[in-house]
Chain A
Amino acid sequence: MSLLHLAVISPLLLALLIPFLHKHFRKIHTGWFLLPLPAVLFGYFLQFISVTRQGDTVMETIPWISSLGIDFTVKVDGLGLLFALLITGIGALVVLYSIYYLSPEKEKLNTFYIYLLLFMGAMLGVVLSDNLIVLYAFWELTSFSSFLLIGYWNHRERSRYGAQKSMLITVFGGLSMFGGILLLNSITGTFSITETIAMSNEVVNHPLFTATLILFLLGAFTKSAQFPFHIWLPDAMEAPTPVSAYLHSATMVKAGIYMVARMTPVFAHSGTWVWLVAGIGIITLFWGSFSAVKQVDLKAILAFSTVSQLGMIMSLLGAGAAALHYGTIQDGYYIVAVTAAVFHLINHATFKGSLFMVTGIIDHETGTRDIRKLGGLMNFMPITFTLAIIGTFSMAGIPPFNGFLSKEMFFTGMLRIAEMDIFSFDTWGILFPIIAWTASVFTFLYSMIYVFKTFTGKYQPEKLDKKPHEAPVGMLIPPVILASLAVIIGIYPDVISGRLISPALRSILPALLDDSKAYEVHIYHWHGFTPELFMTIGVIAVGILLYKTLTKWTGVYRAFPEKLALNRFYDSGLEKLELGSLNITRGYMTGFIRTYLVYIFTFFVLALGVTLFYRNAFALDFSDVAPIRFFEVVLVAIMAISAITILFAKSRLTSIILLGSVGYTVALFFVIFRAPDLALTQLVIETVSVALFLLAFYHLPQINRKEEHMRFKLGNLLVSIGVGVIVTMIALSAHSNKSFKSISEYYVENTYKKAGGENMVNVILVDFRGFDTMFEIAVLGIAALGIFAMIRLRLTRGKE
């Protein structure tokens, strides 16, 4: 157990304490107990920067299930550290924010913070585990905690719906990824990511490669809300705003990005990977930004915006993976895409985090998030307005904020993809910069809608529940910090380029680098009059034009057929699935014991029949059989006839007498087969049984077989014959195949020697197998108690 392991699981440990802290310190907001943890962890992880900067990594292992290759290995490298810093840094700010956002009187704070800690620990586990199985476990834990947090206000129908939706989609992806992990393991024989990367060549040339790749991407795409799985993210906005800011914007949804970045060294040598990651990413980018424009809820705008920005990072990773095909760094020509991806990942966390917090402030102070009701808030909330301006302008890619820098690099990456001469990018690649540019126009548009529809325009006090005013200081500090970061990074990008981006690049594209070198990352504001600059100018110009003429063209959205909406597919699909499974269950779970008996007997016949067949147990050998005497044949005939006659007996009495005759014949057989004890017991028991039957028959009704029609009988007959045949086969086969020597010899030899008895059967029962007999007596006792209770039950009932 190293300090590093402790850091990963410390949130989970603290979660255990939360119920006590919440209970015993009711006057203090539970959030204050949490706040130090992510802050301390952030500081702790910061010191690793000096390690990763050197190109080194830190690795600690706790053996867990080593025989299966599953160990709790924690590895800190550039990529993992970047995410760990995001998780703890944004985590600290979100906890601080939530202290003012969630009222201790109205909300169940203990559950909220337990879920949040659960998530924090799980997410740290995802980004720092080097073992795929451990990573997978943490991965599912993030889905699970996300489910709990979305459904936090579980009295709301929409919350439950959103929680279920996110759970179904992300867990579907998680299971797919698990399949991918197992396939990958079957190729490489290891669960360690580091070792897997080293075996990249074998993976790429393996026949299962494409299947593995697609399963992994399903996991990443569902988690990172890529098209067409993005539909869960807008519904996840039912969660409290701090959660949306934390999980559904800054960290959890980026787990998919993390996975793609992490697996890039393994998969990136294939064209399928580049096309899928870049293609799905760019479609998501466009669809998200296009859909965001039509939203009227501030959080919905941000949700679609997040979808779109995640798509952008994804497409950059895909484009950057193509760099590996050129073998060398080539002056960072293609690496720029990956650099932009990492850079934008950080930028997105800063500006989107602050925007979510701004949304929470607006919601908190006005009581609504509907842009049709909002307007003119600028005068009431000047600080919030400033924060919103910084956030949205950065998102729209306007200088001097950090979003501008990454947006320019994004254009560069997309332009380069069009120039590539591999994987038919030379023909279709041109689509990438075109879609990217169009999507950026929409991004600009919804950013403007977000800020100007809320803060400028006509103030409509009659539509608001509360009189708006500026938020408390504590609620403003976190977004202020994030917005300042957006500005600082915007002005001095090199603050993070060497410390965070370059080590992360080394993790994503290790193959291109000699051990001693590091990626030289320099981010410039001014590149000269490049195509990127004109693209940005174009985005701003067209964006402003579209914003001014918004009312004239929004009809476009109504033209889209509602029937084709993905949510409709999801809803009706889920409905049909539930109905289908219900029908199937009802189809075989009839509630009749008879049906279940038929299943049991059929299974019995099939399982034994198939086993007998495959084990070749039909080699019958009748050389060693006992002779048959005439009267034995008579007894067999009597027994068989009695048994079969029971089937046709119409009266109860006949049935019982016939059963008795079978029983007494069995006793006779025992005599013939040299089993005097059995014969005695059987005689006594049979007499008592028949007496009991006669006693009961007096109380039971006549056998009515009119309700049994032909098909019913025929089905039963088939099953019965099957059972009869299979049992005969077993008896014959058991006689012919003696695989082992009987253990009976032991008893024959030792009966007198060890137990001092002469009757072997008796000695076995009361001595060698004495415990069996004791439990047998217990069973009889329980049966007797049951019978007694059933009769008593009637008496008490009768008295009432």
Chain B
Amino acid sequence: MEILMAFLVGILFMTATYLMLSKSLLRIIIGTGLLSHGAHLLLLTMGGLKRGAAPLLGENAPAYADPLPQALILTAIVISFGVTAFFLVLAYRAYQELGTDNMDRLRGKEGHE
């Protein structure tokens, strides 16, 4: 399972990178979204998969899944949501103000740097 997940994470990172390098703002934001999904799965995979019960003491299991990556991921999910939301509004405003979502045209003008 871990090997399979490693390749899946690789694919997610690859597509995310490709999208982030494109010119359209929307695709870039989608790219960051994919990147955070990839990162979360990577964290989880590195901790080891399916070892024991869910990390709830009420389960009374002999072994529990590693709670630490889960805690980290929980934080990361929320933060990445904040970032995505911010990006979206930024893109929307940039498009409204500048009339383009093409990264090449969004470049600072001479004397505007």
Residues of A at the B interface (CB closer than 8 Å) are 591-594, 597-598, 601, 622, 625-628, 632-633, 636, 639-640, 643-644, 646-647, 652, 655-656, 659, 662-663, 666, 669-670, 672-678, 681-682, 685, 688-689, 692-693, 696-697, 699-701, 703-705, 707-708, 716-717, 719-721, 723-725, 727-728, 730-732, 734-735, 742-744, 747-748, 751-752, 758-761, 764-765, 769, 772-773, 776, 779-780, 783-784, 786-787, 790-791, 793-794
Q: For the complex, what is the distance from the CA of A724 to the CA of B17, rounded to whole Å?
A: 8
Measured between C-beta atoms, what is the minimum distance from B43 to chain A in Å?
Answer: 10
Q: Known interface pairs A681-B77, A779-B82. Does A742 touch B23 (Cβ–Cβ under 8 Å)?
A: no
* B residues less than 8 Å from A699 (CB atoms): 92, 95-96
17 contacts between A and B (CB under 8 A): A594-B103, A597-B20, A647-B15, A655-B27, A656-B30, A678-B40, A689-B81, A692-B88, A696-B26, A700-B95, A703-B24, A728-B7, A743-B68, A744-B47, A748-B55, A760-B70, A776-B79
**CB distance B4 to A633 under 8 Å?**
yes
| Chain B residues within an 8 Å CB radius of A743 | 68
* Residue on B nearest A669 in the bound complex, by CB: B41
Contacts of A708 in B (CB 8 A): 22-23
Q: CB within 8 Å of A: which residues of B?
A: 1-15, 17-27, 29-30, 33-34, 37-38, 40-42, 44-58, 64-68, 70-71, 73-75, 77-79, 81-86, 88-93, 95-96, 101-104, 107-108, 113
Contacts of A625 in B (CB 8 A): 1-3
Is the beta-carbon distance between A677 and B70 smaller than 8 angstroms?
Answer: yes
Complex Cα distance, B48 from A674, in Å, reads: 11
| CB contact between A632 and one of B1, B12, B67 (< 8 Å): that residue | B1
Q: How far is the CA of A772 from the CA of B68 in the complex (A)?
A: 13
Q: How far is the CB of A171 from chain B (nearest CB, A)?
A: 29
Q: Which residues of A contact B104 (CB under 8 A)?
A: 592, 594, 707
- Which residue of the partner chain B has the closest CB to A724? B14
Question: With a CB–CB cut-off of 8 A, which chain B residues contact A677?
Answer: 70, 74
**A783 in contact with B82 (CB, 8 Å):** yes
Residues of A within 8 A of B19 (CB): 646-647
Chain A residues contacting B37 (CB-CB under 8 Å) are 662-663, 666
Contact residues in A for B48 (Cβ distance below 8 Å): 626, 735
B64–A760 contact, CB under 8 A? yes
Q: With A663-B33, A674-B52, A760-B57 given, is the CB distance from A701 to B21 under 8 Å?
A: no
Q: Is the CB of B10 within 8 A of A727?
A: yes
Is the beta-carbon distance between A720 and B15 smaller than 8 angstroms?
Answer: yes
Known: A626-B49, A734-B46. 7 other contacts (CB 8 A): A592-B103, A655-B30, A666-B37, A666-B41, A677-B70, A696-B92, A699-B92
Say yes or no: A628 contacts B82, CB within 8 Å.
no
Consensus secondary structure, chain B interface: helix
Note all chain B residues with C-beta closer than 8 A to A742. Answer: 47, 66, 68
Decide: A761 near B67, CB < 8 A? Known: A652-B26, A681-B78.
yes
Count the A-B residue pairs with Cβ separation under 8 angstroms: how many? 269
Please tell me if the beta carbons of B1 and A719 are within 8 angstroms of each other in the complex.
Answer: no
| CA distance in complex: A625, B6 (Å) | 12
Among A696, A734, A772, A793, point to the contact of B91 (Cβ < 8 A).
A696
Q: Is the CB of B22 within 8 A of A692?
A: no
Nearest B residue to A787 via CB reads B89
| Contact A735/B93 with A674-B54, A723-B13, A765-B71 known, Cβ cut-off 8 Å | no
A375 to chain B, nearest CB (A): 54
Give the CA-CA distance A592 to B102 in the complex, in Å: 11
Q: Chain A: interface secondary structure?
A: helix
In angstroms, how far is the closest chain B Cβ from the Cβ of A735?
A: 5
Cβ contact within 8 Å between A721 and B1: no
CB distance from A780 to the nearest CB of B (A): 5
Do A732 and B85 contact each other (CB < 8 Å), given the known contacts A748-B67, A772-B75?
A: no
Task: Give min CB distance, A702 to chain B, whole Å.
Answer: 9
Residues of A close to B89: CB separation below 8 A: 696, 786-787, 790-791
Docked Cα-Cα span, A764 to B65, in Å, equals 14
- Partner among A656, A672, A720, A731 whose Cβ is within 8 Å of the Cβ of B21: A720
* Contact in complex: B71, A769 (CB < 8 Å): yes
User: B56 touches which one: A593, A693, A759 (CB < 8 A)?
Assistant: A759
Residue of B nearest to A644 (CB): B15
Known: A643-B15, A685-B77, A764-B67. A751 touches B33 (CB 8 A): no
Residues B53 and A674 in contact, CB atoms below 8 Å apart: yes
Q: Hey, which chain B residues are within 8 Å of A730, CB to CB?
A: 42
3 closest A-B pairs by CB: A724-B14, A728-B10, A731-B6
Tell me the bound Cα distance from A659 to B82 in angstroms. Answer: 16
Residue among B13, B23, B84, B92 with max Cβ neighbours from chain A (10 Å): B13
B13→A724 contact, CB < 8 A: yes
A752, B58: Cα distance in complex, Å: 11
The residue on B at minimum CB distance from A746 is B68
Q: Decide: B9 and A728 in contact? CB cutoff 8 A.
A: yes
Min distance, Cβ B14 to any Cβ of chain A, angstroms: 3
Inter-subunit contact A622/B75 (CB<8 Å): no
Residues in B neighbouring A636, C-beta threshold 8 A: 4-5, 8
Nearest A residue (CB) for B1: A626
Interface centre among B20, B95, B103 (most CB of A within 10 A): B20
Pick the residue among A678, A703, A732 that contacts B70 (CB under 8 A): A678
In the complex, the answer to whether A640 meets B93 with C-beta atoms within 8 Å is no
Give chain A residues whose Cβ lies under 8 Å from the Cβ of B29: 693
CB–CB B78/A776 < 8 A: yes
